[in-house]
Homo-oligomer: A and B are copies of this chain.
Amino acid sequence: MSSIYWYDQQFIPAEAVRISPQDRGYYFGDGVYEVYRVYNGRLFEPGLHFARLARSAAGIKLALPFGEAELQRALEELVLRNEVSEGTVYLQITRGAAPRNHLFPADARPVVMAYCNEMPRPAAAMEAGIRTITLEDTRWLHCDYKTLNLLANVLAKQTAAERGAGDAILHRGGTVTESSASNVMIVKDGRILTHPADNLILHGVTRAVALRLARAEGIPAEERAFTVDELLAADEAFVTGTTVEVTPIISVDDRPIGSGVPGPITRRLQMAFARAIGLDR
């Protein structure tokens, strides 16, 4: 755990950070967040994260209290002060503290909090793949905003764990959207398919990177929604996300995907991703 937080534009010890009980993040989940990956002490794709953060903040009508360059300097300093080499940075911004009222407060200042963690790459899951279950997607209709309203995601992930699975794949009436905390892609006849970046999914940074890498590898990749049936009939499937990178899905509801082991296109994409972050594998 990070020993130093960036909080209210200052670097302070973790134990000194205390949140007001009136923080709108606490009352309403009224805030947005990002999780950055740190490789070799450097933020991965900070520009994509900032663009998404700005989009999420605009979506909930929250004015960010910093610009892109200022934020990046602060987060880089945070990583340096915490001496994190391989890990994550968690950043969240809420609308601030004010007496409880659904209406935006006239004079609240956004509360910004960021910290970082050491976290190795998920080598075991990337190698072996994960088992998954399917669940109806019960989330709201702005999954494209990365907000603090995450209860549906929490419950889906917990249900997956209770059923012995690594993740839950969500669908709306049979159409796969994403998983509890990552995007889902399938491979069929050599082509990658994934849900379009609309209001029903989070626009994952790793999703965008994976699509870019796939195309650079000459693998056709299409943003087109697919069904649970298409998932079950896929040759390969995998999730993409900041902490899971490219992790194979080996089964869905106890039915094997493809031959039940990570497939060749998933492996190619994993290798391309490793090269993109400056590693051999």
- Chain A interface (Cβ < 8 Å from any Cβ of B): 1, 5, 7, 17-21, 23-30, 60-61, 90, 92, 94, 99-100, 102-104, 113, 115, 136, 138-142, 147-155, 157-158, 161, 180-181
List the B side residues contacting A94 at CB < 8 Å.
26
Q: Are B21 and A21 in contact (CB under 8 A)?
A: no
Given contacts A140-B139, A181-B102, contact A148 B21 (CB under 8 A): no
Q: Does the CB pair A150–B30 fall under 8 Å?
A: yes
Q: A20 to B16: give the CA distance in the assembly, Å.
A: 10
Q: How far, in angstroms, from A280 to B17 measured CA to CA in the complex?
A: 50
Partner of A102, one of B1, B24, B90, B157: B157
Q: Give 30 CB contacts A-B under 8 Å.
A: A1-B99, A18-B18, A18-B19, A18-B21, A19-B19, A19-B23, A21-B115, A23-B26, A26-B26, A26-B94, A26-B148, A27-B150, A28-B29, A28-B150, A28-B154, A29-B29, A29-B148, A30-B150, A102-B154, A102-B158, A103-B157, A103-B158, A104-B154, A104-B158, A136-B141, A138-B141, A138-B142, A140-B149, A140-B151, A149-B152
